């Protein structure tokens, strides 16, 4: 494969953040080439009827999408769509533009195929992203927009901050995700308590309904893998109470338990969220617990350590309707979504099923 044989060695010769900048620059350039992205999507998007999934009123061509964090500023939607993703989530966006944390803040742990990041929601702001999305020549993929809290805003003013972001992007989003689970903004994870979450979700829901009275914009919540089981249950119950459309399980972890490197090397990387295979088992456990609690009444989206067809199939069987990838793209390239989707179609037929939807949550039945 060209990516693994040629492009990955070149990118891995650079620092992780430099490689990210180079990649995003290339993707933006691709999107500017006339008539380039549409033929690519026609070629790379799996259109097998067995893969089609419906969730919160939206029809997805297949379940594998791009997680938030890679396209923070909604700069490469057309390019990512061209590589055949089933859906794309951009952000995390904040109400105000902010530079994020000081560099270095992004690290590859190649032995574990993992990443540590403490980016800190570096982005141009929700208004700038909204303007960029409006200028798109075409938008083929379902678009989710992930919003978080501006760093300088205290938690007691978080509702207004999230509301401002939601108002800016609501008319452009197929769905909106509330991010209260990044470990890289001080105090953000405190908003995962039910007492803080309830008013936040209610406020954003009100903003979305005012912005789109004719269409209910699905509202999702992204949670951390580091929550206690009791907190996961409480969030699941709140999601049912507020008729939340979906939960993304999970964000990055602050634990380092699953790494193969020693404590001294771990300490060199410092703080930040760990993603990739080391978070896989905990993310899967959170998904299973959520499925037990909410059944099929809330759409569950699995993220965290998904890099093989077996990983993807396991999450579907555990209760995920949709899947998101990020870290694995760094190691396997942008066509990974296509490969996973085609693998899911094969697994579906091997199991004697007509559609991948028949496998959702089958493990818990």
CATH code of the domain containing 141: 3.20.20.70
Active site residue 182: yes
Q: Which of 165, 182, 275, 283 is catalytic?
A: 182
The residue among 272, 291, 294 whose CA lies nearest residue 283 is 291
Rounded Cα distance, 218 and 205, in Å:
9
The residue written with tokens 């109400």 in the block is 95
Write out the two tokens for 271: 């703080």
pLDDT over 80 (residue 1): no
Spatial neighbors of 353 by CB under 8 A, at least 6 apart, are: 50, 359
Domain that holds residue 276: 2-364
More confident of the two residues 365 and 263: 263
Rounded Cα distance, 314 and 204, in Å:
32
> Burial, 313: exposed, middle or buried (Cβ in 10 Å; 0-12, 13-18, 19+)?
buried
Strand partners, 88: 66, 143
Global pTM exceeds 0.85: yes
Number of compact structural domains in the chain: 1
Instruction: Quick: pLDDT tens for 15-52.
Output: 999 999 999 999 999 989 988 899 999 999 999 999 99
Least confident of 126-130, 186-190, 304-308: 186-190
């Amino acid at each position: 494969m060209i990516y693994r044989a040629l492009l990955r060695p070149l990118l891995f010769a650079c620092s992780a953040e430099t490689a990210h900048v180079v990649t995003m620059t290339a993707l933006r350039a691709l999107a500017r080439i006339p008539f380039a992205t549409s033929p690519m999507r026609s070629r790379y998007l799996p259109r097998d009827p067995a893969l089609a999934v419906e969730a919160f009123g939206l029809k997805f061509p297949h379940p594998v999408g791009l997680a938030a964090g890679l396209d923070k500023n909604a700069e490469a939607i057309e390019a990512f769509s061209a590589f055949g993703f089933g859906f794309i989530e951009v952000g995390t966006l904040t109400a105000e533009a902010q530079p994020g944390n000081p560099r270095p803040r992004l690290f590859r742990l190649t032995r574990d195929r993992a990443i540590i990041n403490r980016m800190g929601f570096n982005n141009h702001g929700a208004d700038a992203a909204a303007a960029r999305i409006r200028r798109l020549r075409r938008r083929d993929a379902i678009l989710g927009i992930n919003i978080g809290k501006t760093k300088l805003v205290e938690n007691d003013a978080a509702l207004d901050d999230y509301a401002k972001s939601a108002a800016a992007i609501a008319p452009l989003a197929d769905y909106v995700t509330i991010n209260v689970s990044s470990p890289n903004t001080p105090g953000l994870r405190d908003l995962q308590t039910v007492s803080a979450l309830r008013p936040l979700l209610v406020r954003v829901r009100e903003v979305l309904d005012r912005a789109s009275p004719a269409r209910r914009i699905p509202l999702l919540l992204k949670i951390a893998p580091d929550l206690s089981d009791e907190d996961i249950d409480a969030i699941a119950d709140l999601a049912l109470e507020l008729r939340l459309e979906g939960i993304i399980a999970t964000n990055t972890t602050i634990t380092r338990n699953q790494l193969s490197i020693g404590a001294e090397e771990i300490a060199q990387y410092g703080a930040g969220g760990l993603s990739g295979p080391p978070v896989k088992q905990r993310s899967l456990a959170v998904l299973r617990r959520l499925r037990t609690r909410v059944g099929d009444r809330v759409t569950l989206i699995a993220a965290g350590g998904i890099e093989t067809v077996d990983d993807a199939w396991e999450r579907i069987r555990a209760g995920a309707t949709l899947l998101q990838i990020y870290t694995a793209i760094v190691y396997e390239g942008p066509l990974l979504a296509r490969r996973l989707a085609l693998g899911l179609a094969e697994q579906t037929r091997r199991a004697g099923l007509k559609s991948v939807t028949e496998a959702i949550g089958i493990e818990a039945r």
